[in-house]
Structure 1
Amino acid sequence: MTRLILLILFVVLSPFAHAQELDGAWKLSHTNGLPVEDLEAIKIYQDGYFALSAKRLSDNHFLEAKGGLFTLKDSTAYTETYDFYTSNSEKVGQSKQFTIDIIQDKMVLSYTSKGKNLIEIWERLSDKEDDLNGTWVITGRKRDDKMQTMSPGARRTVKILGGGRFQWIAFNDETKEFSGSGGGNYTAQNGKYTEYITVFSKDDSRVGASLGFDYEVKDGEWHHSGLSSKGDPIYEVWSSYRKAYLEKQ
């Protein structure tokens, strides 16, 4: 009983009970008290946005991606609002409420689904920071040596990086269409950015591949250049999702 009281006090008083303290990467470890098996679900939080990807471990088969904005109110009231949701597109634009408890490096999400009470336990993988931590949206791409600018709208490509993990997602939240997603681990140091792919929605065989690029952050924008997986040169500009999209809505 004493231990339980201490844990409750820790949750109430913990400085982790703020939305920004969710920033980083988390891994699903238990559902309803049972350890997850043959499943890897990774959730990245950064700058008020989140993205989840899930795959089957036995064959790296992509299972699901979902994400969007989140809020944390009064330390325990947590809400997700979905921009994309591959397993049920009808949930795009809808919000779901959870009760959240954060105890040390574990996050407990409690919610009701189809009349049943469910509990998920997520373990923090990392909250390390680097030059590219953030939620980004693509706003420029060079074609034939000419930079083409893009204004993100209902159709947009978002990339979230936090805790050494990344995930990109292409979607249209008006038509609820999902175009693709991929993610994994990354490193960003001294102008060199490398992705190590662990999940890919269109082609499971891409898992295990790595790609290296050059990067530079200029005036708050991420300039990303190198060669694509097909060997084609790319030059992209990614902007803060909040500034380039949310603040213009």
Structure 2
Amino acid sequence: MKRIFLSLTILLMSFAVMAQSKQSLTGAYLAKDGNVNHLWLFVDGYSSYIQYEDNKYLSTWGGPFSEGTNGIQVQVEYNDAKPDEIGKAKETNAKANADGITMGNLNFKKQVANKQDLDGLWRITGRKQDNKMSEIPRGDRKTIKILVDGYFQWIAINPAEKGFYGTGGGTYTFTNKKYTEKILFFSRDNSRVGAELSFDGEIKDAQWHHSGLSSKGVPIYEIWSRDNK
């Protein structure tokens, strides 16, 4: 009995150590390969992988993720470079470590933690048009926004139809009800890279009220709701 008890104790201690040493993937990770930036965002069980040069968007893919013995697995909801992967599980063979993530010859460095109240996975659920707020029903087509540790990305997609309608992202700050973006990539217009946009932002009843002028100078008022996977 003592041997059985000792074995169980050792086993439980081993599990405890493994649980403590397991790195949380939540955060922003960045790797460089020549002129190409590889940015990987993880939050609320969702991930997005973006490739871009300093003044040129390249591609993005992502979806809900999990960790297994073969590394990080992503259930792909969008991939503008390889739409055939949409709806399938993507085995990345990427492994988390103390400093970040290793995948093949890429070493992703975890960016400095910069938690803000807007961090999370969001989905647009309302938009003001003709001075009237209209609800955007949840369906196959959606626009989501990922914010984590000072980085953001929005993606307009329809996984059911393997549709991809655009993306953009970069870094952000949210202080004193002011939300400011600096664009690092924009699939629709590379000339927008480097631009800074400032908006009014406020969380009301767990919804993000976002208003100001769009990148084209058009007034906007949007409501975003958390879309945890």
Q: Sort the TM-score into its range (normalised by shorter chain).
A: 0.7 to 0.9
Aligned: 1:69 with 2:64: yes
What are the ranges of 5 or more consecutive residues in structure 2 without an aligned counterpart?
1-13
What CA distance in whole angstroms lies between the structure 1 residues aligned with 2:172 and 2:18?
33
RMSD: 1.9
Say whether the 8 Å CA contact 1:125–1:163 is kept in structure 2. Answer: yes
What CA distance in whole angstroms lies between the structure 2 residues aligned with 1:126 and 1:159?
20
Matches within 5 A, 1:140-159: 140-159=126-145
Say whether the 8 Å CA contact 2:71–2:95 is kept in structure 1. Answer: no
What CA distance in whole angstroms lies between the structure 1 residues aligned with 2:113 and 2:45?
15
What CA distance in whole angstroms lies between the structure 1 residues aligned with 2:28 and 2:20?
18
Aligned to 1:231: 217
What are the ranges of 5 or more consecutive residues in structure 1 without an aligned counterpart?
1-8, 30-35, 110-117
Max Rg structure = 2
Q: Cα deviation per residue 1:45-98 (whole Å; 9 max; x = unaligned)? A: 1100011221123xx121101111001246x64211111001110000111224
**Offset at residue 17 of structure 1 (A):** 2.2
Distance 1:16 1:42, change over 3 A: farther
Aligned to 1:170: 156
Identity of aligned residues (%): 39
Say whether the 8 Å CA contact 1:78–1:99 is kept in structure 2. Answer: yes
Count of residues in correspondence between the two structures: 214
Q: Cα deviation per residue 1:82-126 (whole Å; 9 max; x = unaligned)? A: 1100111000011122444333222123xxxxxxxx453211113
- Structure 1 runs (4+) deviating above 4 angstroms are none
Secondary structure of 2:76's aligned partner: strand
Aligned to 1:108: 102
Aligned to 1:17: 22
Aligned to 1:90: 84
Distance 1:209 1:142, change over 3 A: same
**Offset at residue 154 of structure 1 (A):** 1.2
| Paired letter, 1:95 | A
Secondary structure of 2:164's aligned partner: strand
Matches within 5 A, 1:183-222: 183-222=169-208
What TM-score do the two structures reach when normalised by structure 1? 0.80
Distance 1:98 1:17, change over 3 A: farther
Say whether the 8 Å CA contact 2:200–2:210 is kept in structure 1. Answer: yes
Aligned to 2:226: 240
Q: Cα deviation per residue 1:129-165 (whole Å; 9 max; x = unaligned)? A: 1110000000000112211001121110010000100
